[in-house]
A = this chain, B = another copy of it.
Amino acid sequence: MAVRTIRLDRSALEDNDLDARRLRGELAAAGTFLVNLMSSPGAGKTTFLLALLERLCRSCSVGVMEADLDSDVDARKVEDSGLARTVQLHTGGMCHLDAAMTRQGLEALGTEGLDIVFLENVGNLVCPAEFDTGACLDIMLLSVSEGDDKPIKYPLVFGKCEAVFVTKMDAAPYFSFDLERCERNIRARNPRCAILPVSARTGAGMDAATAWILRARAGWKESRNA
């Protein structure tokens, strides 16, 4: 099956923060829980997402927007899994997504009947942190091979996310990755951040990650009704 690919227009909006708040309001009204997934290139966003979808699909309808500079490698993997409605977003070289681009993606995906939509942002620890996509939840992945010092070096993105999933934990001994030191480095930037070690390959931690996301969605639904 061919993957639908959308070429995003660069947005001309001056006030992205305002637009992001507006999008968040629209998502709340529609009942669509949008999750923005950020990481370095190669941290394992798509593999994590596939392991998550296997678990989420038992109770939710899920959509996935795969943002990339080019190629449809990731969207094809998700599409082939049959676990989620999928669309590939091409940013035309842009290093991040803003709220207007995210809205274009949501319109292309079609959110009707979807409980959760994941936006796999461009692999980049710098620029995506500077632009509110309008998502209801910002999540980061940090793979053990990147090293436990990354929260010190990329403070903005580690400071703004609500959870860090530490991926490829099965490879931690190989890279002498120190989870406790990593947690200290994250908490120095972001004291209330949830930190969950996972391995999509072995499945370790994936049930806890799924439960965490479902709880975040339940909290969002409650605050929406309050």
Query: Which residues of A come within 8 Å of B, CB atoms?
Result: 40-42, 68-71, 73-74, 93, 95, 122-127, 130, 143, 145-147, 149-150, 152-156, 168, 171, 174-175
Given contacts A74-B153, A127-B127, 13 further A-B contacts (CB under 8 A): A40-B123, A40-B146, A42-B143, A42-B146, A69-B156, A71-B149, A93-B126, A122-B126, A123-B125, A123-B154, A124-B124, A171-B171, A171-B174
SS class, residues of chain A in contact with chain B: loop
Whether B73 pairs with A127 at a CB distance below 8 angstroms is: no
Closest Cβ of chain B to A44, distance in Å, is 9
- Residues of chain B within 8 A of A130, CB atoms compared: 93
Number of copies: 2
Q: How far is the CA of A93 from the CA of B156 in the complex (A)?
A: 8
Shortest Cβ distance from A124 into B: residue: B126
Whether A69 pairs with B153 at a CB distance below 8 angstroms is: yes
Closest Cβ of chain B to A166, distance in Å, is 12
Known contacts being A40-B40, A69-B156, is A145 close to B171, with CB within 8 Å? yes
Shortest Cβ distance from A95 into B: residue: B126
- Residues of chain B within 8 A of A73, CB atoms compared: 149, 152-153
- Residues of chain B within 8 A of A174, CB atoms compared: 171, 174
